[in-house]
Homo-oligomer: A and B are copies of this chain.
Amino acid sequence: MISERMEDMLVSDLDSLIKPANEVAVVGAHNTLDHALLLMTSNKYSVVPVIDEKSRVKGLISMPLIMEAIIGIEDVQFDQLGDITVEEVMNTDYPVVKMDYELEDVLRTLIHNAFISVIDEEGVLTGIITRQVILTGLNRIVHNFEQVYEVKDRNREHV
């Protein structure tokens, strides 16, 4: 359990953690890898969510995954980028939470993932939660928590 004081200082309200879907770079599952690579380059992201035609999250695609797909035995086959679709290559084991998520789950998941996709009941991408916004909250806690609250060592009470 995360204490209420910690949660409140980490984030004013849970919705504010979410970067809304209209500000998130995404690629379509049916797009080819050359399209994905150009989109990611122009947005300077190396990993983005993959969505289907109904904006439902289907996976994650990253530049290393794209490169891996075209590395042959002898050389890198860049000419194949237009022949392979994102859904053939994407990672389908991706972290996701619903809108009514627990902060605890998000914090644990972000240790090993750059971001978490937030979806609605139909699986449609609502937004993402990034490490950046959580680290902003951490800075608030380490600087302000002992200003706002009185903190004592428990064992000193018994001395």
Contacts and interface: CB of A to CB of B under 8 A. Distances in A.
Interface residue tally on A, bucketed by range: 35 or more
A124 interface: no
Interface in A125-159: 131-132, 134-136, 138-139, 141-143, 145-146, 148-154, 157
A32 interface: no
Interface of A: 1-3, 5-7, 10, 34, 37-38, 40-41, 44-47, 62-64, 67-68, 71, 76, 78, 104, 107-108, 110-112, 114, 131-132, 134-136, 138-139, 141-143, 145-146, 148-154, 157
A85 to B, nearest CB: 18
Q: Which 4 A-B pairs have the closest CB atoms?
A: A46-B46, A63-B63, A41-B67, A78-B78
A152 to B, nearest CB: 5
A62 B46 contact: yes
A114 B78 CA distance: 28
Given A41-B68, A111-B132, A152-B150, A142 B10 contact: yes
A62 B152 CA distance: 45
Contacts of A110: 135
Given A10-B142, A111-B139, 20 more contacts: A1-B143, A5-B151, A7-B142, A37-B76, A41-B64, A44-B64, A46-B63, A63-B64, A63-B67, A76-B78, A107-B142, A114-B114, A131-B131, A131-B135, A135-B135, A135-B138, A150-B153, A150-B157, A151-B151, A152-B152
A1 to B, nearest CB: 7
